[in-house]
């Protein structure tokens, strides 16, 4: 059985102090990593919300454009029918 001397206690105390200091530095770095991860998470969440708003506005715009396209198509069709009936009336009067 080895008897510990005062010198071996001092060496062990130095090692423990060094380990303790290393653990404290490591804790600080881990805490900073956790803060950085939370900031990234919040940044991504904000970007996703912004993208969702943009997609919703574009979908709304698409719906409006489809509605306008349908309305213009109907208007052109009705105008074509009006022109056709007008031209038929004109030719009826010409060729009587």
Q: How far apart are CA 68 and CA 71, in angstroms?
A: 5
Chain-centroid distance of CA 10 in Å reads 57
CA torsion angle 11 16 21 22 (round to 10): 100
Q: Per-residue pLDDT for 9 more than 70?
A: no
The string of pLDDT tens digits covering residues 44-84 is 999 999 999 999 999 999 999 999 999 999 999 999 999 99
The string of pLDDT tens digits covering residues 27-39 is 999 999 999 999 9
CA torsion angle 74 77 82 88 (round to 10): -160
3 state SS for 5-50: CHHHHHHHHHHHHHHHHHHHHHHHHHHHHHHHHHHHHHHHHHHHHH
**pTM score, two decimals?**
0.51
């Amino acid at each position: 059985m080895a008897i510990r001397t005062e010198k071996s206690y001092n060496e062990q105390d130095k090692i423990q102090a060094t380990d303790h200091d290393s653990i404290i530095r490591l804790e600080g770095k881990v805490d900073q990593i956790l803060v950085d991860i939370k900031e990234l998470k919040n940044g991504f969440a904000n970007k996703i919300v912004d993208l969702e708003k943009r997609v919703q506005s574009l979908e709304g715009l698409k719906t409006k454009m489809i509605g306008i396209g349908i309305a213009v198509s109907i208007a052109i069709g009705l105008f074509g029918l009006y022109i056709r009936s007008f031209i038929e009336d004109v030719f009826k009067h010409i060729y009587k």
